Amino acid sequence: MTPKYLVCPSCKTLYEFVASIKSCPRCSAPLFTIYEDLEQVLKKVIVNARERAIQGLGVWSFSELLPTKFIGKSLGEGWTPTIRLEKFANVLGVDILIKNESRNPSGTFIDRGTSIDVQVAYENSFSKIVSASLGDYAISLSVYAKRYEMSVTHYIPRFVEPWKLYMLTLLGDTIVEVEDYPSAVRKASRMSAKNQHYLSIPCSPTVIDGYRTIVFELIQTLQKIDWIAVPVGDGVLATAIFKGLNEVKEVLDIDTPRILTVKLSENSEKTLQKSAEPTLTELSGGIVRNILTTILRDSASHISIERSEVFTIAAQLAELEGIIVDPVGVASLAGVKMATELGIVGRGEKTLVIISGSPSKDSYVLYKIIEHGGKEKLLQRITEGRDATYISNTQKEILKILYEAGQCYAYRIWKKLKNLGYNITLQTVHHHLKNLVEKGYVRILGSDGKRLLYTISELGEEYLDKELGT
């Protein structure tokens, strides 16, 4: 259904709905789309949505509540499972349901938004998309753009984890690395204006409307829960949930749950940054500060947590419930634990926790979860069994070389080892490097076509710190 207006929830200005307006021109807050006959449409859509979901329409089960003319292409996004955490409830003393958003096609809730945004680009006759984002959004956008044979140019901050860049490389779109997120937004906006390409960014009204389909899927549950806990990365998901809840409340006249936003504390953000999502601080130069300080300031409760608590919760979630997700994605659950201890969430209250973030494949992150779950010894026993020389002296030396040089090809490492008196072949150096990559101590940065370029990973640096006291 084509929306009629865009409204700024902060300064209340109304605009005509135009796909090129991404945030409020007056105050730069994110914008909300307003639909005609919302009441009638919402009631009708909610009744038929389940049936449409079975037909494989994904988020398009709610097409009348989305800012497009037609139903777009679905890859099975949305309709993620809602699961009760039985054992966790005993540990925390609160009833917890999770909405497992890691079950979306690219592994995050973001698919709900990019699926809509790509259709909007298509309906406006664009064949090229320019995007400024963090790794997860970029991957999701490329996945959906494929369906429409559109190409994407991604502006991405340099600190994004390598595995995300590898995935983007597989998807075949253009990646431009820049210093930080604000400069990514600046450059992407400039390029889209200059070349008339569609600009796709996470905080746009079209993406927000896609994210809010989470609320529509929960209609039957909303009256039975007291809280929705939302992880705050860039703040857009929390904003979308806020919008969806307000629409439902207004039209159906029901009590809706309160929002609990959970973010990592400033210090934690810095330390997690290397391996996980970028930070609010980083983003706060832009639109994000507006979301948290204007839109959500009075309409939600806010919790800030330390990174160690996130790892501990991730370990418990795996051990108690068999669910493995990225630590950033379970921040919301750690937040509920703290909110309960602080008395914000009352004992006996029911909370629905949105778990986002794909299952972690980063060996550094997995190791940190294991460490916080108190299982390092177990891991050591397994890895020792796999390789008698857990980290051999030669491998230690290779780590030191990589630490000092930043990045190296195998040949240079071999030369340096020779100078240090190691009498080994280049072949052996390759073998050690392969082994170190498998253990997560070394990362492959790229290739010049023939040779691989190596660097030390966070785990490798931590190992050196511990072993050598460097």
Q: Can residue 293 be called a binding residue for Zn ion (CB under 5 A)?
A: no
Whether the CB-CB separation of 152 and 199 falls below 8 Å is answered with: no
Q: Can residue 134 be called a binding residue for Zn ion (CB under 5 A)?
A: no
**Pick 204 or 358: Cβ nearer Zn ion:** 204
Across 246-271, b (16+ Cβ under 10 Å) vs e yields bbbeeeeeeebbbbbbbbbeeebbee
Least distance (Å) from Zn ion to the CB of residue 56? 38
Q: In what order do the strands lie in the sheet with 452-456?
A: 407-409, 452-456, 442-447
**Pick 11 or 342: Cβ nearer Zn ion:** 11
Q: What is the Rg, in whole angstroms, of the alpha carbon atoms belonging to the chain?
A: 24
Least distance (Å) from Zn ion to the CB of residue 29? 5
Q: Can residue 8 be called a binding residue for Zn ion (CB under 5 A)?
A: yes
Nearest CA to 42 among 204, 230, 207, 222?
A: 222
- Among 6-14, 86-94, 307-315, 316-324, which window interacts with Zn ion (CB under 5 A)? 6-14
196: its two tokens: 């008339």
Least distance (Å) from Zn ion to the CB of residue 24? 3
Q: How wide is the angle at C-alpha 434 spanned by C-alphas 431 and 437, nearest 5°?
A: 150
Which one of residues 2, 11, 69, 91 is an interface residue with Zn ion (CB under 5 A)? 11
**Pick 29 or 442: Cβ nearer Zn ion:** 29
Least distance (Å) from Zn ion to the CB of residue 9? 8
**Pick 10 or 68: Cβ nearer Zn ion:** 10
- Among 3-11, 39-47, 69-77, 135-143, which window interacts with Zn ion (CB under 5 A)? 3-11
Number of residues that bind Zn ion (CB under 5 A): 7
**Adjacent-strand bridge partners of 98:** 83, 353
Least distance (Å) from Zn ion to the CB of residue 8? 3
Q: Which of residues 70-129 bind Zn ion (CB under 5 A)?
A: none
User: In terms of residues, how long is the chain?
Assistant: 470
According to DSSP, residue 108 is labeled S
**Pick 206 or 435: Cβ nearer Zn ion:** 206
Least distance (Å) from Zn ion to the CB of residue 205? 12
Least distance (Å) from Zn ion to the CB of residue 28? 7
Nearest CA to 401 among 383, 416, 419?
A: 416
Which one of residues 26, 50, 190, 224 is an interface residue with Zn ion (CB under 5 A)? 26
SS3 428: helix
**Pick 265 or 294: Cβ nearer Zn ion:** 294
Residue 235 CA: distances (Å) to CA of 188, 215, 390: 20, 16, 42
Q: Can residue 27 be called a binding residue for Zn ion (CB under 5 A)?
A: yes
What string of H, E and C letters represents the secondary structure of 234-290? Answer: CCHHHHHHHHHHHHHHHHHCCCCCEEEEEEECHHHHHHHHCCCCCCHHHHCCCCHHH
- Among 20-28, 155-163, 246-254, 453-461, which window interacts with Zn ion (CB under 5 A)? 20-28
- Among 24-32, 127-135, 229-237, 269-277, which window interacts with Zn ion (CB under 5 A)? 24-32
Which one of residues 1, 6, 24, 165 is an interface residue with Zn ion (CB under 5 A)? 24
**Pick 3 or 257: Cβ nearer Zn ion:** 3
Query: Where does 148-204 have alpha helices with state H?
Result: 162-171, 181-195
Least distance (Å) from Zn ion to the CB of residue 27? 3
> How many other C-beta atoms lie within 10 A of the C-beta of residue 450?
6
62/116 Cα distance (integer angstroms): 11
Residue 97 CA: distances (Å) to CA of 28, 257, 386: 35, 13, 39
Nearest CA to 357 among 332, 336, 327?
A: 327
Q: Can residue 10 be called a binding residue for Zn ion (CB under 5 A)?
A: yes
**Pick 27 or 83: Cβ nearer Zn ion:** 27
**Pick 11 or 193: Cβ nearer Zn ion:** 11
Least distance (Å) from Zn ion to the CB of residue 12? 7
Q: Can residue 290 be called a binding residue for Zn ion (CB under 5 A)?
A: no
Least distance (Å) from Zn ion to the CB of residue 116? 22
Q: Which residues of the shown chain bind Zn ion in the complex (CB under 5 A)?
A: 8, 10-11, 24, 26-27, 29
